[in-house]
Amino acid sequence: MLHKISKYWVCQIAGWTASLAISAFFYLTLSVRKVDHYLLIITISVLLGVLITHLMRMVIREYKVLEKPILAQIIDFILLTIAFAIVYACTDVAIENIFNLRDTGGPKISLANEIARTAINNLFLLLIWNLIYYTYHYVERLMRQEVNTLKLQSIVKELELKTIKSHINPHFIFNALNSIRALVDENPTRARTAITELSNILRSSMQAEKLETVPLERELNIVKDYLALEKMRFEERLTVEMDIDEDTLGQPVPPMMLQTLVENAIKHGISKRISGGTVKVISDFVNDHHELVVQNSGQLNGYINEDGFGVKSTQYRLNLLYQGKATFEIKNAGADMVESRITMPVTAFVNINQ
């Protein structure tokens, strides 16, 4: 039964029970003046504290206070503590007056002074509660970020290995080297360029695990090298188009992700068509987001291999990097066009290692 209770409620019950026990202990052992109904008064106060702090937690969650910048969190922290201390005091004093539980043995004080005194006492109590609550979530967020970082490093390393197997597999290298060999005599300059392009792709694959993001311009250079090598293989069957907003060139993108989508477009689209087709890469800002689109001739025919490495790794990496704020979809876009679209937050995850 206990394992079904959330950690929050376990802490709430334990913390307020401890507060009740401490207050009762000091009253019974150290107090020199007896207060009528004291144990009932502190019990009501503790139950009220559970209710007030739970309402405060609901406000924190509803307005996503913990997701705000640190300065805004501090301001909200102070304002919420003061506001709920006053609510706590007003409610506590009102209950004592309604049920005639106020201490009549001490000096007479006005209702306003009683509320002020109770609010100050509660302010300290709620301050401690908020400090514990904020500290817990801050530590939990750091731990979650560390776990996500480890997961990201793992998937990037897996990506590097998969990339070498799928993009730079022996078959691909064999085709590229055959094309380069054919160019050695008839077009030595193009052959040297092709060797450089192949070298760039290999180097990028080996470096993919070291970075979480790279500038789009760098990723595009690798994609262009890859498409140039594929152009040697498909010749007139492959048409390449680029529609790149220059303002997006500095945007950070996951390394080899665009390469994966382009390779899928070649492998599952162009290579299966006798007449070949077109691969188009688009980068633009849309509705305050960075959109990367890869279009290729062909049709999905109602089937998407979601367990395939290209689709699966793209979705997983986007979730890890952008915490649900980025999307990926692949669909038919017309009678003879397949479209893969990635939408990412603008200026997210600028890479400090570059």
The confidence band for 188, taking pLDDT boundaries of 50, 70 and 90, is confident
Coil, strand or helix at 269: coil
> How large is the average pLDDT for residues 284-296?
94
Paired sense of beta strands 277-286 and 289-296, if any: antiparallel
Please, are residues 213 and 252 in contact by the beta-carbon 8 Å criterion?
Answer: yes
Instruction: Give bridge partners of residue 284 from the DSSP assignment.
Output: 291
Q: Which amino acid is at 146?
A: E
Strand 277-286's sheet: what is its strand order? 238-244, 277-286, 289-296, 338-345, 327-332
pTM greater than 0.85? no
Q: What is the pLDDT of residue 285?
A: 95
pLDDT exceeds 50 at position 352: no
Instruction: Give bridge partners of residue 258 from the DSSP assignment.
Output: none
- For 50, the token pair is 């559970």
Q: Which residue has the higher pLDDT, 270 or 316?
A: 270
The confidence band for 281, taking pLDDT boundaries of 50, 70 and 90, is very high
Residue-wise pLDDT for 5-20, tens only, equals 888 999 999 999 999 9
Q: What is the pLDDT of residue 350?
A: 43
Q: What is the pLDDT of residue 181?
A: 80
Q: What is the pLDDT of residue 48?
A: 94
The confidence band for 351, taking pLDDT boundaries of 50, 70 and 90, is very low
Q: What is the pLDDT of residue 168?
A: 45
The confidence band for 297, taking pLDDT boundaries of 50, 70 and 90, is very high
The confidence band for 244, taking pLDDT boundaries of 50, 70 and 90, is very high
Q: What are the structural domains of the chain?
A: 2-144 (no CATH), 167-345 (3.30.565.10)
